[in-house]
Structure 1
């Protein structure tokens, strides 16, 4: 089993958290940052997750991941919701861990201008060497 750490990457001025154990990104953290910028149109995670387009994408992604891994990968393995807990220091934040491809789709859904920044990030950080 891999040791899990969280590393921070940046898309423009937004920090995105990625787990090293499986490469999943915390979509809820990106959304919190987006919604905290004055003037940005507010977005809701539920609107993205409940859309027909996202449902169809999750099915296609699960099928593709299953084929690549040569084992069944369920849609519930591509999106992991972790509810915040009450601690002595207060309640921890909810997290929505997303498969990297789902995260890219989510980040591009936030806003068309931000979509360009996401595509630039993917191109610069993951494709161009």
Structure 2
């Protein structure tokens, strides 16, 4: 059996054997069944203290925040699994009784010889992990209207071109947002109607769901010409040089055929920040 089933009154709360993660959905339902009170988990996740705890736990375990809080399925079938240490904090929010109960579950799980979830070192740069997780969420959750395209998909070609040259941008850089803003500015300057349809873009971190434009196919050729002739030579260097060191600036300049001059002070990546904590 891959799961541990904890009987709480009439309901069963599931805990995964492999990593100790506990179903927050079932824990909340068990609390409601026992007390008659409804607690909305989103109110707990929105607290500043919890966000700080998530960052600390992420630093300690080496797991990204979206790995500490894992959502499986969609809509009403979506289930949220939370790290065992996070589950104790969540149970504390519910009630002292649930805090005691979940603490015992985690202790028993640890005593049984399991270990908290960790990951083997990943060769991918942190930015790549975020990028590919966004791609996975896009493929799972997004169906664009027929005859329309979005910048996130199109900018993937630029990302692959950079990766082929072993140029890996940091997780703080979000090229598609930079491109989208510059593209809309260009459209307005050239008297195009910018009242576009939008789709819901999913992020693997606290940004959650954000709206992004979709564009008709008749603008796709103009976009690629603008990207090649205007954005990459004129806009991209100013944006990307914030996130790369002088050697990486040189590599990108050679890959794209446009000069990118480094800034004197390089912004820290998430990993840099964590190492200094």
- Regarding TM over 0.5, the answer is yes
Partner of residue 95, structure 2: 111
Q: Is the Cα contact below 8 Å between 2:84 and 2:106 reproduced in 1? A: no
Quote the offset at 1:44 in angstroms: 0.6
Whole-angstrom distance in 2 between the partners of 1:113 and 1:32:
15
Q: What is the number of equivalent residue pairs in this alignment?
A: 111
Of 6, 26, 30 in structure 2, the residue corresponding to residue 29 of structure 1 is 26
Asked which structure has the greater RCO (Cα within 8 Å, sep 6+), the reply is 1
Whole-angstrom distance in 2 between the partners of 1:82 and 1:19:
13
Q: Which structure features the higher share of strand residues?
A: 1
Larger Rg: 2
Partner of residue 6, structure 1: 3
Unaligned runs of 5+ in 2: 113-277
Asked if 1:78 corresponds to 2:62, the answer is no
Q: Which structure features the higher share of helix residues?
A: 2
Quote the offset at 1:25 in angstroms: 1.1
Whole-angstrom distance in 2 between the partners of 1:23 and 1:128:
12
Quote the offset at 1:24 in angstroms: 1.3
Asked if 1:98 corresponds to 2:82, the answer is yes
Of 6, 16, 38 in structure 1, the residue corresponding to residue 13 of structure 2 is 16
Whole-angstrom distance in 1 between the partners of 2:80 and 2:32:
16
Partner of residue 69, structure 1: none
RMSD (Å) for aligned C-alpha atoms: 2.7
Once the two structures are overlaid, the 10-residue window that deviates more, 54-63 or 25-34, is 25-34
What CA deviation, in whole Å up to 9, does each residue of 1:90-111 have, x standing for no partner? xx63211111110111112101
Partner of residue 46, structure 1: 42
